[in-house]
Amino acid sequence: MSDIWKPSVTVAAVIERDGHFLLIEEETGDGLRLNQPAGHLDPDESLLQAVIRETLEESAHDFTPTALVGMYLARFVSPRTGEDVTYLRVTFAGTVGEQLALRLDDGIVRVVWMTYDELLACRSRHRSDLVLQCVEDYRRGQRAPLALLATHPSIGDHHD
């Protein structure tokens, strides 16, 4: 058993359309929460593939990443269970098409489009503080080119 500490790597998508942000409402161990389409990086996939997959699974929207918004290291301790996890969240901005007729991931209740003010008004329902921080960084124009990301060939047949 290794004693090396490892954060959980996740991806998230900040998607804005006509002044509204795409969020998902999901069942969690701590109740019903709002989040960007987000999830864990799977083995043998690139960060871009992960965010495209997670957005499709959680929102039934095809996602086209256009920029890196930021990388966020945060610790979460569940108030209900006491579970203590550190996450490295890689957040992307991008665009989506219309919602497809697909079944949403288990635990996802619905897709919601909210204005920034609506998002501010329901902070207590956010999955984590990173939901609002990522939107605020996006609104400030924080973007980095996707060319900063590289996936080594050892991960699989990926070229991003």
Q: What is the pTM of this model?
A: 0.92
What is the percentage of the chain residues whose pLDDT exceeds 70?
A: 96
Residue 14 falls inside a structural domain: yes
With CA atoms as reference, report the closest residue to 45 among 56, 35, 36.
56
Number of CB atoms found within 10 A of residue 47's CB: 22
The pair phi, psi for residue 12, each rounded to 5°, is -150, 155
Instruction: Name the average pLDDT for the chain.
Output: 94
Name the β-bridge partners of 70: 91
Number of domains in the chain: 1
Residue 152 placed within a domain: no
Tell me the pLDDT tens digit for each residue of 55-74.
999 999 999 999 999 999 99
* Tens of pLDDT, residues 101-160: 999 999 999 999 999 999 999 999 999 999 999 999 999 999 999 999 999 999 976 555
Query: Residue 110 maps to which CATH number?
Result: 3.90.79.10
- Report yes or no: 19 and 51 within 8 Å, Cβ to Cβ: no
Among 21, 9, 27, 33, which residue's Cα sits nearest to residue 129?
33
Residue 19 lies in a domain: yes
